[in-house]
Amino acid sequence: MNVIVYNASPEPMTRLLRPFLSFLCLNAALCWGGACDLAEIAGDIDRGSLAAAEAKLKAVETAGRSCDEYLLQAGRLKFAEADFTGAEDLFARFINAAPKDARGYYQIALTALVKGDYQKADNLSSLALSYQRDYAEALVVHGRLLAMKGQTAEALAALQRACALKPQDADGHFQLGALFDRQKRYAEAVGQFERVVAINPSDARAWDYLGLNLEPLGQIERADAAFRKGLEMNQGRWADKFLDYNYGRFLGKQGRFEESRKHLDRALDLTPSVRAVHYEHAKLSLRMRDLALARREAEKALELPDRAGVILDLQVYYLLQQIYSQIGESALAHKYAELSRTTPIPPRGR
């Protein structure tokens, strides 16, 4: 199990802005002398150095050198800080000031995607591409939306084109790798996530995905190393709250139960309302013969909804049957045996 966290990747925006900002640095009157500062600010945001970016933006504003580009970078900082309402307001002001600049439409599209407003994200990413056909970052958003619609071939084409246009865009490779992961194309997913961590070693999400895709290829030692590297990096902008869950599952399958419990305990603290975490913790407790804890966790898993279909009701029923059988609750064991036998597997996508 993994969750894609919608953060902008490092570096690509800086490269996109560099020619434009270099021109402004040579023609400082266009931005009241602030363009060189804004180029540095763009780089700080890309690298996740948000405190530095905020201080420099404040200096530009205090000096009275703010301009259209200031609005864009201030919006990007708000986005990186997860202030999506504030970010969207600044991007809208940027569009009013520069209505033919594709970057404003892309940034609002990305913000809308994070907020779950998929139709708005679709409309504005298409608008960004109408102004700049080879805008790699907008293609990434477009590809993600196509994948959500089930248009896998079209999504794959859009993401591959984005990666070809900007091979150093970590987010493009991340999203392409995530698509390969969903298709169980493990070797291709590994290739993409290896590129992500080469570009941005701080991306704990990518290390997590790398471990998840190395495991089914039988590369157990490399998978273990990837998970551990992810845990070292698991803080800040590219943190992954499911990494402990995924590593705990991995360790349990390797028979390393005590280590597994440590990470699954932490996963319970991080994601207490996720069925899969309680289910996996219950399975481990059963294997470790802690039947009371296994029962509590399995019953909790059954209480929690799982609309994504990661852990089906049928799976929890079967686990409860095993637990109740071992603790001598024969009536409950029979009940869940019958539910295990009669509960249909829901159609894919339900």
What pLDDT is attached to residue 59?
Answer: 87
pLDDT digit string, tens, across residues 176-188 = 999 999 999 999 9
With a pLDDT cut of 70, the percent of the chain lying above it is: 88
What pLDDT is attached to residue 6?
Answer: 39
What pLDDT is attached to residue 22?
Answer: 44
3-state secondary structure of 275: helix
What pLDDT is attached to residue 32?
Answer: 43
For residues 171-196, give the mean pLDDT. 98
What pLDDT is attached to residue 35?
Answer: 53
pLDDT digit string, tens, across residues 6-22 = 344 444 444 554 444 44
pLDDT band at 155 (very low <50, low <70, confident <90, very high): very high
User: Residue 253 pLDDT more than 50?
Assistant: yes
For residues 34-62, give the mean pLDDT. 83
What pLDDT is attached to residue 68?
Answer: 87
What pLDDT is attached to residue 318?
Answer: 97
| CA angle (161 as vertex; 159, 167 as ends), nearest 5 | 90
User: Residue 116 pLDDT more than 90?
Assistant: yes
Q: Name the residue type at position 178.
A: A
Distances (CA, A) of 152 to 146, 168, 314: 7, 23, 29
User: Residue 314 pLDDT more than 50?
Assistant: yes
For residues 57-61, give the mean pLDDT. 86
pLDDT band at 65 (very low <50, low <70, confident <90, very high): low
Q: Name the residue type at position 29.
A: A
What pLDDT is attached to residue 201?
Answer: 96
For residues 128-135, give the mean pLDDT. 96
What pLDDT is attached to residue 33?
Answer: 45
pLDDT band at 203 (very low <50, low <70, confident <90, very high): very high
User: How would DSSP label each residue in 197-217?
Assistant: HHH-TT-HHHHHHHHHHHGGG
Centre a 10 Å sphere on the Cβ of residue 85 and count the other Cβ atoms it contains: 9
pLDDT band at 36 (very low <50, low <70, confident <90, very high): low
Please state, in angstroms and rounded to a whole number, the distance separating the CA atoms of residues 183 and 173. Answer: 15
Between the two ends of the chain, the Cα-to-Cα distance in Å is 17
For residues 315-335, give the mean pLDDT. 97
Please state, in angstroms and rounded to a whole number, the distance separating the CA atoms of residues 121 and 109. Answer: 4
For residue 315, is it left (φ>0), alpha (ψ between -120 and 50) or beta?
A: alpha
Of 169-183, 287-301, 334-348, the range with the lowest mean pLDDT is: 334-348
For residues 79-90, give the mean pLDDT. 94
What pLDDT is attached to residue 21?
Answer: 44
* Residue predicted with more confidence, 36 or 163: 163
User: Residue 257 pLDDT more than 50?
Assistant: yes
Of 62-66, 171-175, 229-233, the range with the lowest mean pLDDT is: 62-66
pLDDT band at 66 (very low <50, low <70, confident <90, very high): low
**Alpha helix stretches (DSSP H) within the chain:** 12-26, 35-47, 50-62, 68-80, 84-97, 102-115, 118-131, 136-148, 152-165, 170-182, 186-199, 204-214, 220-232, 243-253, 257-270, 275-287, 291-303, 313-327, 330-342
pTM, rounded to two decimals: 0.85
Place of tokens 């594709």: 102
For residues 39-43, give the mean pLDDT. 88
Please state, in angstroms and rounded to a whole number, the distance separating the CA atoms of residues 313 and 301. Answer: 9
User: Residue 124 pLDDT more than 80?
Assistant: yes
Which CATH number is correct for 1-175, 1.20.210.10, 3.40.50.1010, 1.25.40.10, 2.60.40.1180? 1.25.40.10
Mean pLDDT of the chain: 89
| Cβ–Cβ < 8 Å for 141, 109 | yes
